[in-house]
């Protein structure tokens, strides 16, 4: 038997509870895992609170991330005792996820836990930090360099934003952080942001072309924020879009793309192949200061995760929430 969060749906709607399950209840998969840590992402908050119908089948164990140890494997790449990380692949949506002490998964979804990180540190990074690494990699691969100018990071106090700032600073970039919480300015500066901007500058409708400010942008917000960021990007600059905290819409014009040669790159973290994932985790292991993780992360036990998900959806959480599934 093991402990897990379980989302169920009945005639009166969705419920979520901390419960005990049997390993025989686990879904199909060729790798069994003893989970050490998971985390709470925005998508987990949506799933647990029921704020959006991200869960595709019921009952469901939420948690799109996990780090742990292989207990048994029928997959050629993994053996008992291997330390692994899982991000995405629909886990926590249509396949039982990481907010439990046990998991059974498809071995093709896993990557090795980098030796530089403990399981807790890997979950302080989680999908948010892994996505930030994908974004930084995309900017670099598209030719963005520190000497070309500032990089704007929107949603800066979120998990993607915090890790993106730290990675960009390590790579030599000058970073401007946009946030709706002015009280977090010192925290963002500790991560490496040179300037902290009010998100209100970006969150309302703006002109199709605005003053050129940014050599590159990492945006986890979408909607008007993404549109304004594109409108302010310098000639030949690059915008990496990976989130929709403000909305799924993109109320923009083609002007930045056809008059300034701006590139808009879509960043998918859910179905990225293992080679791409491994490269992103290698960058994190090489360039992310583990001390920065302590500033970014806070820890809760599995029994506290439901309440923490509610706070996350209310915008009351800074950085990353690590979940110790064994307490």
Q: Which residue has the higher pLDDT, 293 or 185?
A: 185
CATH code, domain with 169: 3.40.50.720
Is residue 183 in a domain? yes
Question: What average pLDDT does range 277-291 have in this prediction?
Answer: 93
* Same domain assignment for residues 97 and 155: no
Model pLDDT, residue 275: 94
* Same domain assignment for residues 131 and 96: no
* 238, pLDDT greater than 90: yes
Is residue 94 in a domain? yes
Is residue 122 in a domain? no
* 12, pLDDT greater than 90: no
Residue whose token pair is 């064994």: 326
How far is residue 97's CA from residue 158's CA, in Å, rounded to a whole number? 22
* Same domain assignment for residues 84 and 140: no
Given a contact cutoff of 8 angstroms between Cβ atoms, the answer to whether 267 and 135 are in contact is yes
Is residue 239 in a domain? yes
* Average pLDDT across the chain, whole number: 95
CATH code, domain with 72: 3.90.180.10
Model pLDDT, residue 290: 84
Question: What average pLDDT does range 106-123 have in this prediction?
Answer: 97
* 289, pLDDT greater than 90: no
The distance of Cα 205 from the centroid of its chain, to the nearest Å, equals 26
Model pLDDT, residue 11: 85
Question: What average pLDDT does range 23-48 have in this prediction?
Answer: 96
Model pLDDT, residue 302: 97
Is residue 47 in a domain? yes
* 16, pLDDT greater than 90: yes
Closest CA to 296 of 130, 127, 158, 155: 158
120-136 confidence digits (pLDDT tens): 999 999 999 999 999 99
Share of the chain above pLDDT 90, in %: 90
The predicted model scores a pTM of: 0.92
* Same domain assignment for residues 105 and 131: no
* Same domain assignment for residues 155 and 212: yes
How far is residue 243's CA from residue 206's CA, in Å, rounded to a whole number? 20
* Same domain assignment for residues 311 and 186: no
Given a contact cutoff of 8 angstroms between Cβ atoms, the answer to whether 242 and 220 are in contact is yes
188 preceded by a cis bond (ω within 30 of 0): no
Question: What average pLDDT does range 288-317 have in this prediction?
Answer: 90
Is residue 275 in a domain? no
Is residue 282 in a domain? no
Q: How many CB atoms lie within 10 A of CB 116?
A: 14
* Same domain assignment for residues 9 and 36: yes
Give the domain-ending residue among 266, 281, 307: 266
pLDDT band for 17, please (50, 70, 90 cuts): very high
pLDDT band for 319, please (50, 70, 90 cuts): confident
At 110, list the tokens.
């896993």
Closest CA to 217 of 160, 300, 273, 255: 160
Question: What average pLDDT does range 2-19 have in this prediction?
Answer: 94
* Same domain assignment for residues 60 and 108: yes
Paired with 2 in beta bridges are 21
Is residue 280 in a domain? no
* 33, pLDDT greater than 90: yes
Paired with 153 in beta bridges are 177, 218
Q: How many domains does the chain have?
A: 2
Model pLDDT, residue 237: 98
* Same domain assignment for residues 137 and 257: yes
Q: Is the C-alpha dihedral spanning 134, 306, 323, 81 positive or negative? A: negative
173-182 confidence digits (pLDDT tens): 999 999 998 8
* 204, pLDDT greater than 90: yes
- Return the DSSP state at 36: E
Model pLDDT, residue 327: 92
248-276 confidence digits (pLDDT tens): 999 999 999 999 999 999 999 999 999 99
CA distances from 23 to 18, 109, 112 (A): 16, 20, 23
* Same domain assignment for residues 246 and 176: yes
Given a contact cutoff of 8 angstroms between Cβ atoms, the answer to whether 189 and 162 are in contact is no
Model pLDDT, residue 57: 93
Closest CA to 109 of 31, 54, 25: 31
Given a contact cutoff of 8 angstroms between Cβ atoms, the answer to whether 59 and 8 are in contact is yes
54-84 confidence digits (pLDDT tens): 999 999 999 999 999 999 999 999 999 999 9
* Same domain assignment for residues 154 and 255: yes
Range of the domain at 28: 2-113+290-324
At 175, list the tokens.
């970073």
Given a contact cutoff of 8 angstroms between Cβ atoms, the answer to whether 82 and 32 are in contact is no
132-165 confidence digits (pLDDT tens): 999 999 999 999 999 999 999 999 998 899 999 9
* Same domain assignment for residues 256 and 156: yes
DSSP states of 134-181: HHHHHHHHTT--GGG--EEESSTTSHHHHHHHHHHHHTT--EEEEES-
């Amino acid at each position: 038997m093991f402990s897990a969060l379980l989302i169920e749906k009945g005639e009166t709607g969705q419920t979520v509870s901390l419960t005990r399950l049997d390993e025989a209840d686990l879904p199909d998969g060729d790798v069994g895992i003893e989970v050490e840590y998971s985390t709470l992402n925005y998508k987990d908050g949506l799933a647990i609170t029921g704020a959006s119908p991200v869960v595709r089948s019921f009952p469901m164990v939420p948690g799109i991330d996990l780090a742990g140890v292989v207990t048994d494997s029928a997959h050629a790449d993994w053996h008992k005792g291997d330390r692994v990380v899982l991000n995405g692949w629909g886990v926590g949506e249509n396949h039982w996820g990481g907010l439990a002490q046990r998991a059974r998964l498809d071995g093709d979804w896993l990557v090795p836990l980098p030796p530089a990180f403990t399981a807790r540190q890997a979950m302080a990074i989680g999908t948010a930090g892994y996505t930030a690494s994908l974004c930084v990699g995309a900017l670099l691969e598209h030719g963005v360099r520190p000497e070309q100018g500032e990089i704007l990071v929107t949603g800066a106090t979120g998990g993607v934003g915090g890790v993106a700032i730290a990675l960009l600073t390590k790579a030599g970039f000058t970073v401007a952080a946009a946030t709706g919480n002015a009280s977090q300015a010192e925290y963002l500066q500790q991560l490496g942001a040179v300037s902290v901007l009010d998100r209100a500058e970006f969150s309302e409708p703006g002109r199709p072309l605005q003053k050129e400010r940014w050599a590159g942008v990492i945006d986890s917000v979408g909607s008007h924020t993404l549109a304004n960021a594109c409108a302010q990007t310098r000639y030949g600059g690059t915008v990496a879009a990976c989130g929709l905290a403000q909305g799924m819409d993109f109320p923009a014009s083609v002007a930045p793309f056809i008059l300034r040669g701006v590139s808009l790159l879509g960043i998918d973290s859910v179905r990225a192949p293992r080679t791409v994932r491994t490269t992103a985790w290698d960058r994190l292991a090489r360039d992310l200061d583990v001390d920065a993780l302590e500033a970014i992360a806070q820890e809760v036990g599995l029994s506290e995760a439901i309440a923490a998900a509610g706070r996350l959806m209310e915008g009351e959480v800074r950085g990353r929430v690590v979940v110790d599934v064994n307490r």
